[in-house]
Amino acid sequence: MGAVDAVRGRLLWFEADPYLAGEEEAVRYVEDGLLVLKDGLVEKVGEASSLLPELAEGARIVDHRPHLVLPGLIDPHLHLPQTQVIASYAGHLLEWLQKYTFVEEQKYADPEIAAAASRFFLDELLRCGTTTAAVYCSVHAASVEALFAEAASRNIRLVAGKVMMDRGAPAPLLDTAETGYAQSKALIEKWHGRGRLSYAITPRFAVTSSEAQLEAAGALAAEHPEMHIQTHLSENDLEIATVARDFPWSEDYTAVYERYGLVRRKALFGHCIHLSARERRALGEAGAAAISCPTSNLFLGSGLFDLAAMRKTHPPVAVGLATDIGGGTSYSMLATASELYKVLALQDQRLTPFEAFHMMTLGNAEALGLDDRIGAFRPGLEADLVVLDAGATPAMAQRMETVETLFQELFVLMMLGDDRAVKATYVMGERTGTR
């Protein structure tokens, strides 16, 4: 739809975690602000009254007042091949995987199916205001090719990888330690660092990877110390028991990944519900991230994420917030934050709206190690934006009649908002055609 020169609106972004730094230090809010953009990047940010006179004559300005303009939302854990297994009834995680997910993922050997799914998947993310994601593809290289090709055509910042899985699943979904390594290596050489694309080394989880395959994943990690790693950790009691059975030498679940060099900065561990204090320390000391997936954990009955325990660990564990499509039940990061609020409330913990919106933007950028590129409004950062309307539905509009502060407005968005609250999404300064 073409790039714009400036976006005007009520600008909101974060320079730190409000929980750690306090709202005054962390929150940046400009009631009538202007983002000046150049070549897809933020050039200037500030009061509209100060910056408007500096714009060149004929500059294209899009005015989104009275809506909020934030950095694009970031989703650090979800699955491309699971768009058609959302809302599939099952008793627990491993049953759900065997009965639905592994059946569905076999289809992704077909490049046409993977390409069609990739188009839908990215359309849906952008429609929900999500401009960056870390994605699990299927075991098939074709699924990664399709997703990266589609993301490249839209100039979307994306982290993704081929699942490595050599046991515990139907034969058509299995690779080997050798083929998983070789295929991942070829995909890295072709796609990693191309435009806004990054590869993630992706052993699905210890239940479906042999020691030989984890060793191969560790070899990839050693060869590419700057690269993301993504996998699952301590989601479900039966899963944890299975890992203990299959790796009897290991002190705990996290120690399996530690042995193979997979616990480090830019390693993203999905779920992390049932970690011991030792495991939390291991993640914190390594600079790895625990990714909370509340809608998935509630849907599958896996347990409650303990944010307070992550924060109290020394050093604290970096925490991300994610939809986990398709165990998760909504593509909306707003709806996902609402569920995290409830998960924490059940444990006598609270998540303020400032903390939640920090998590969805700068916090998730930091968890991904991409905060030098996305997640805030600073000169030089990429101009991915989302425009939010806190009165998007009749119920929200009715509630907004009594709202008096930004804190309250954000809480309305967080608790009642979903894709309908997204008025516009921008990728590198260009408005997408999804709204």
CATH of the domain at 418: 2.30.40.10
Q: Are residues 38 and 82 in the same domain?
A: no
CA atoms in the 13 A half-sphere facing the CB of 164:
31
Q: Are residues 96 and 54 in the same domain?
A: no
Q: Token match 């210890």: residue? A: 206
| CATH classification of the domain holding 264 | 3.20.20.140
Q: Is residue 60 part of a domain?
A: yes
The two tokens of residue 206 are 């210890």
Q: Is residue 313 part of a domain?
A: yes
**Residue 18 amino acid letter:** P
Q: Are residues 314 and 201 in the same domain?
A: yes
Q: Are residues 386 and 289 in the same domain?
A: no
The two tokens of residue 92 are 């627990």
pLDDT score at 97:
86
Q: Are residues 16 and 110 in the same domain?
A: no
Q: Is residue 380 part of a domain?
A: yes
CB 138 within 8 A of CB 80: yes
pLDDT score at 90:
78
How far apart are the C-alpha atoms of 275 and 310, rounded to whole Å?
10
CB 353 within 8 A of CB 323: no
Q: Are residues 49 and 114 in the same domain?
A: no
Q: Are residues 317 and 227 in the same domain?
A: yes
User: How many other β-carbons are positioned within 10 Å of the β-carbon of residue 29?
Assistant: 14
Q: Are residues 321 and 183 in the same domain?
A: yes
Tell which residue, 412, 256, 234, has the closest CA to residue 306: 234
| Residues 6+ positions from 95 with CB-CB distance below 8 Å | none
Q: Going residue by residue through the chain (435 aa), what tens digit of pLDDT does each one get? A: 578 899 999 999 999 999 999 999 999 999 999 999 999 999 999 999 999 999 999 999 999 999 999 999 999 999 999 999 998 887 777 788 888 898 889 999 999 999 999 999 999 999 999 999 999 999 999 999 999 999 999 999 999 999 999 999 999 999 999 999 999 999 999 999 999 999 999 999 999 999 999 999 999 999 999 999 999 999 999 999 999 999 999 999 999 999 999 999 999 999 999 999 999 999 999 999 999 999 999 999 999 999 999 999 999 999 999 999 999 999 999 999 999 999 999 999 999 999 999 999 999 999 999 999 999 999 999 999 999 999 999 999 999 999 999 999 999 999 999 999 999 999 999 999 765
Please confirm whether the linkage preceding 369 is cis (ω < 30° from 0): no
Helix, strand and coil in the chain, % to nearest 5: 45, 25, 35
Q: Are residues 152 and 174 in the same domain?
A: yes
Q: Are residues 171 and 271 in the same domain?
A: yes
Beta strands in 192-282 (DSSP E): 197-203, 228-233, 267-271
pLDDT score at 212:
98
Q: Is residue 228 part of a domain?
A: yes
Q: Is residue 354 part of a domain?
A: no
Q: Are residues 151 and 33 in the same domain?
A: no
CB 53 within 8 A of CB 339: no
| Residues 6+ positions from 236 with CB-CB distance below 8 Å | 92, 93, 94, 273, 300, 302, 303
DSSP conformational letter for 3: B
How far apart are the C-alpha atoms of 367 and 361, rounded to whole Å?
10
pLDDT score at 434:
61
Q: Are residues 61 and 91 in the same domain?
A: no
Q: Is residue 341 part of a domain?
A: no
> Which residues pair with residue 69 across a beta bridge?
11, 387
Q: Is residue 368 part of a domain?
A: no
Q: Is residue 137 part of a domain?
A: yes
Beta strands in 139-239 (DSSP E): 157-161, 163-164, 197-203, 228-233
The two tokens of residue 201 are 């080394």
DSSP readout, 281-331? HHHHHHT-EEEE-HHHHHHTT-----HHHHHHSSSPPEEEE---TTTSS-S
Q: Rounded to the nearest 5°, which phi and psi values hold at 227?
A: -90, 150
CB 376 within 8 A of CB 17: no
State the pTM of this model.
0.97
Domains in the chain: how many in total? 2
**Residue 424 amino acid letter:** A
Domain that holds residue 219: 73-331
Torsion over CA: 245, 248, 253, 259 (sign):
negative
Domain boundary among the residues 300, 331, 362 is at 331
What distance, in Å, lies between the first and last C-alpha atoms of the chain? 11
